[in-house]
Structure 1
Amino acid sequence: MEVSEYIKVFAPATVANVCCGFDVLGFALEQPGDEVWVRRKDAPGITISAIRGISGLSQNPEENVVGVVAQKMLAELQVSFGLDMQLHKGMPVGSGLGSSAASSAAAAYAVNELLGKPFTTEELVPFAMEGERLASGSAHADNVAPSLLGGFVLVRSYDPLDVVPLGVPVELYCSVVHPQVELKTSLARSILKKDIPLQKGIRQWGNLAALMAGLLKADYALIGRSLHDEIFEPERSFLIPLFKQAKQAALDAGALGAGISGSGPSIFALSATEQVAFDVRTAIEQVYLSSGIDLHAYVSQVPEQGARVIQQPTLHA
């Protein structure tokens, strides 16, 4: 009997920052997301035999996040055999929805499953962060952690790394609209001021603490009052065409709050019900479509689960 040792994993897109939680808060979406296929091979080393759904990504494992993540894991475990990988991109690069994080999370989860789960899912976060280091120059966790773990995730500290999974303590639906405009993460970060006025900082961490309380108490009104970015949104919003109009349209349609997803250009809005979330999506769509800007739009419940196996290893006689 020949054993075909492979695994196929899906990891979802994510919303990071969530208004007041810059670089420390994120949550998972149900869709879109990336798939990674991993197969064991006798020869040592990593190969990336296929990349589908997008053009322009390198198949050199040193230059692709899935390869970097897998190499770190094999080195940590001192594995002698190699892996062949395939990446199926289900989301665009530079969307503000954690594209590189979804690939990194899917790679880490898939390799771990194939190797018999030597790590817990939380222990996979540092490996997935290495993919983020390659993609953006910074090993941040606010996208990879929720993509792996699902729900809301708070990054309490980076040194040492302390990731706090919050799950989904209250039912929430997210509307995401990705206007088809280019916005590089490096530009969105480069314009941020390094110093923060004390009063703005006080209001920002007050909002973050209140948002945590609102989630844990299932207090929708408090969640809505807390979804406010005192510091970074005012500096970044001008980079996204029609952002202010889109945000106001979301609030007028009943959203609890809205803001920039990650570094943008995607815009997210949280709602208490699925119907309101669809209404919000439609309202934001109208802002862009009436101006001739193409977009992709999604409605997703915030899911309990992040990365997951979608095809198990099979046995062939």
Structure 2
Amino acid sequence: MKEIKIFCPATIANLSCGFDVLGVCLDNVGDEMVVRKMSAKGVRITKIAGADLPLETEKNVSGVAALAMLAQVETDFGFEIEIYKKIKAGSGIGSSAASSAGAVFGINALLGNPFSAHELVPFAMQGEKLASGSAHADNVAPALLGGFTLVRSYDPLDIIRIESPSELYAAVIHPQIELKTADARSVLKQNIPLKSAIAQWGNVGGLVAGLYTNNYELIGRSLHDEIVEPLRSVLIPGFDLIKAAALENGALGSGISGSGPSVFALCKGRETAHKVAESMSSVYDNIKLPYEIHVSPVNDIGVKILASH
């Protein structure tokens, strides 16, 4: 292969109780990228459509991720990258992760897949470090592996992929404001009460158990955040109204997607997810705040190849 076109999925990170350790991959929301071989060594970003982002390799998350990967493999050629952004930066559904994951996936494919999907995660994390100041994996891991992912440990990196229950859908609403990850992290506290930590551990365990056993009610009971949501929700217009509307219309649970401002709701069944999405939309319609709304099943593959030659 000399060129590959790929779909780079959006992701929901944290999932209420799993700050920096839990994430899930979406299926019909994401960017597209084209990666092709070029004769000169190195990485060039030749086109970005849909967003005002830097073309300089060292200033772009996809470029930084690609360079981290190429530092570990010898090639006598380089790569050009085109990025077609459909996930807005600062939306809270993994915009930087989609670019980072797509770059390393595409280059890996053109190299004949010398790295496994798990082995690509640390390279993509370097893009996240550029974007937010923290090399977190809760977006890039599900983008590369599909399904749900649990980051059991960062040092050493230990990521567990979890299959999604078949009827699980996500509704995600993105108010048209930008909330940078670095800013959203600045409101967090470095120390938490033991009581809150115990509640959070219980919810993480409950959510993982619910996913493994297809127990939708347990999944819903576990989508509760004692630590981060109370601090970040004040940054999101109408958050309490959005969450209440989702739960009243059948959502299993609802919370902040990533660092916000998007709000997600997990639902059992496509019909319920669309009903929940309509109820979330009505909140922003009433307060006249522009938004985007997405309804998606869980993507169990991750980055997808659209075309290659």
Q: Normalized against structure 1, the TM-score is what? A: 0.96
Correspondence for 1:252 = 248
User: Which residue of 68, 71, 84 maps to 1:72?
Assistant: 68
Contact 2:163 2:212 in 1 (8 A): no
- Pairwise CA distance, 1:80: 2.3
2:83 partner SS: strand
Amino acid in the other structure paired with 1:6:
E
2:131 partner SS: helix
Amino acid in the other structure paired with 1:219:
N
Are 1:216 and 2:212 counterparts? yes
Distance, in Å, in 2 between the alignment partners of 1:75 and 1:225 is 44
Correspondence for 2:279 = 283
Distance, in Å, in 2 between the alignment partners of 1:175 and 1:215 is 18
In structure 1, list runs of 5 or more residues that go unmatched. none
Distance, in Å, in 1 between the alignment partners of 2:231 and 2:131 is 23
1:62 partner SS: helix
* Map 1:64-213 → 2, pairs under 5 A: 64-213=60-209
Distance, in Å, in 1 between the alignment partners of 2:94 and 2:257 is 9
Contact 1:170 1:215 in 2 (8 A): no
Distance, in Å, in 1 between the alignment partners of 2:164 and 2:216 is 13
Distance, in Å, in 2 between the alignment partners of 1:87 and 1:247 is 33
Correspondence for 1:30 = 27
- Pairwise CA distance, 1:75: 1.9
- Pairwise CA distance, 1:186: 1.4
Distance, in Å, in 2 between the alignment partners of 1:160 and 1:233 is 28
Over 4 Å off, 4+ runs = none
Amino acid in the other structure paired with 1:158:
Y
Distance, in Å, in 1 between the alignment partners of 2:279 and 2:138 is 28
Contact 2:137 2:151 in 1 (8 A): yes
- Pairwise CA distance, 1:251: 0.2
Distance, in Å, in 2 between the alignment partners of 1:192 and 1:141 is 18
2:57 partner SS: coil
- Pairwise CA distance, 1:170: 4.4
In structure 2, list runs of 5 or more residues that go unmatched. none
Distance, in Å, in 2 between the alignment partners of 1:220 and 1:169 is 8
Correspondence for 1:310 = 306
2:26 partner SS: strand
Distance, in Å, in 2 between the alignment partners of 1:40 and 1:222 is 47
Contact 2:12 2:24 in 1 (8 A): yes
2:71 partner SS: helix
Amino acid in the other structure paired with 2:264:
F
Q: Normalized against structure 2, the TM-score is what? A: 0.98
Distance, in Å, in 1 between the alignment partners of 2:299 and 2:63 is 27
Larger deviation: 5-14 or 167-176? 167-176
Count residues in correspondence.
309
Distance, in Å, in 1 between the alignment partners of 2:115 and 2:300 is 20
1:210 partner SS: helix
- Pairwise CA distance, 1:128: 0.6
Correspondence for 1:43 = 40
Larger deviation: 39-48 or 115-124? 39-48
Correspondence for 2:290 = 294
Contact 1:170 1:216 in 2 (8 A): no
Amino acid in the other structure paired with 1:44:
K
Amino acid in the other structure paired with 1:38:
V
Amino acid in the other structure paired with 1:176:
V
2:224 partner SS: coil
Larger deviation: 203-212 or 72-81? 72-81
Percent of aligned pairs with the same residue?
54
- Pairwise CA distance, 1:137: 1.1
Contact 2:167 2:270 in 1 (8 A): no
Distance, in Å, in 1 between the alignment partners of 2:179 and 2:11 is 17
Amino acid in the other structure paired with 1:68:
V
Are 1:7 and 2:10 counterparts? no
Deviations 1:125-144 (A, max 9, x none): 01111111111111100000
Distance, in Å, in 2 between the alignment partners of 1:110 and 1:126 is 15
1:76 partner SS: coil
Distance, in Å, in 2 between the alignment partners of 1:170 and 1:231 is 29
- Pairwise CA distance, 1:169: 3.8
Distance, in Å, in 2 between the alignment partners of 1:265 and 1:10 is 23
Are 1:269 and 2:277 counterparts? no
Greater Cα radius of gyration, structure 1 or 2: 1
